[in-house]
């Protein structure tokens, strides 16, 4: 394999950077994980590792946000030190190759559409439910990207009848979807995560109700072929069934969407961000 057919891939997360080198067939040649500390330290460590595998015909970056996708900049993130980091430019200058850039959720949506649970379908929404709630829409005809990905996690939701005492934790809206159904909202409300609860049934019903509402909103506005739920909170296996049931109940036969078919788990597993970065690298190199 000639080295020039290699693609460098970065899944830049708030706690860790996952780095990968792919060949032109999408096979992983090498991968590593480094902790996310301060930008200079983390990016230097990433570039030193990539030096071992350079040159590349393209590099893809799937980054935590919010981001300016056109400029390849992490913008007003609360993550200390990372505000206004021109991550794509830094990488481009070092390796002198085309660089593709998207949000981590946007890249994961693309990976799921091409190689995951959306394969054979025309459009997906990929949602991650973890430290925050983020979502991105991707369809096969998507030629241009918006300057910023929409912040789907911060929509307003109707309260579950048994969830009226909790204020919500979003610093902007308190009880938006993220403020009520993200991992930190679960821990704040019930003292522990879904996966560690002794009797999680009520919590699963409440969280499933909010994510079910979200699914109906997505079906009504974007009508994606697949609504894909990933992220740490989805590690609780029973949750996906509750989301499907809640969405069907809330929809009440109005939209023709079959939520039991439409709402699915990711097909690319934990690698959706890295595979998305590979697709970005390949597209940038064309």
Positions in the binding site for Zn ion (CB under 5 A): 154, 170, 172-173, 176
Q: Which is nearer to Zn ion, 67 or 181 (CB)?
A: 181
CB of 135 to Zn ion, least distance (A): 13
Q: Coil, strand, or helix at residue 82?
A: coil
**Which residues are CB-neighbours of 17 under 8 A, at least 6 positions away?**
10, 11, 33, 34, 35, 36, 42, 45, 46
Distance CA 128, CA 48 (A): 30
Q: Residue 176 or residue 280: which is nearer to Zn ion going by CB?
A: 176
Q: Name the residue nearer to Zn ion (CB basis): 117 or 170.
A: 170
The encoded tokens of residue 189 equal: 């409300």
Query: Any bridge partners for residue 138, and if so which?
Result: 124
How many Cβ atoms sit within 10 Å of the Cβ of residue 61?
31
Nearer residue to Zn ion within complex by CB, 71 or 173:
173
**Comparison of 172 and 199: residue with beta carbon closer to Zn ion:** 172
Task: Give min distance, CB of 178 to Zn ion, in A.
Answer: 5
Q: Beta strands 28-35 and 73-74: pairing type?
A: unpaired
**Rounded least distance, CB 187 to Zn ion, Å:** 17
Query: CB of residue 180 vs Zn ion: minimum separation in angstroms?
Result: 9
Smallest gap from residue 163 Cβ to Zn ion (A): 16
Q: Which helix (H) or strand (E) holds 93?
A: helix 87-95
């Amino acid at each position: 394999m000639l080295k020039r057919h290699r693609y460098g891939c970065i899944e830049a997360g708030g706690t860790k950077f996952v780095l990968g080198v792919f060949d032109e067939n999408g096979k992983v040649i090498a991968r590593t994980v480094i902790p996310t500390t301060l930008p200079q330290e983390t990016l230097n460590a990433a570039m030193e590792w990539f030096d071992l595998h350079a040159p590349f015909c393209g590099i893809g970056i799937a980054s935590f946000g919010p981001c300016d996708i056109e400029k390849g900049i992490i913008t007003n993130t609360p993550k200390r030190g990372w505000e206004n980091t021109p991550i794509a430019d830094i990488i481009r200058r070092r390796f002198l190759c085309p660089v593709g850039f998207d949000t981590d959720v946007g890249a994961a949506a693309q990976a799921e559409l091409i190689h995951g649970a959306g394969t054979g379908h025309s459009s997906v929404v990929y949602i991650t439910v973890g430290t925050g709630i983020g979502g991105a829409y991707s369809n096969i005809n998507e030629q241009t990207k918006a300057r910023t990905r929409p912040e789907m996690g911060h929509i307003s939701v109707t309260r579950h009848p048994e969830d009226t005492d909790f204020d919500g934790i979003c610093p902007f809206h308190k009880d938006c979807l993220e403020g009520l159904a993200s991992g930190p909202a679960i821990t704040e409300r019930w003292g522990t995560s879904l996966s560690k609860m002794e009797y999680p049934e009520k919590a699963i019903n409440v969280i499933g109700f909010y994510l079910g509402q979200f699914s109906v909103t997505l079906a009504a506005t974007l009508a994606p072929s697949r609504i894909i739920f990933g992220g740490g909170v989805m590690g609780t296996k029973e949750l996906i069934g509750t989301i499907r049931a809640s969405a069907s109940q809330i929809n009440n036969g109005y939209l023709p969407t079959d939520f039991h078919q439409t709402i699915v788990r990711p097909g690319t597993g934990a690698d959706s961000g890295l595979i998305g970065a590979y697709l970005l690298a390949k597209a940038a190199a064309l």
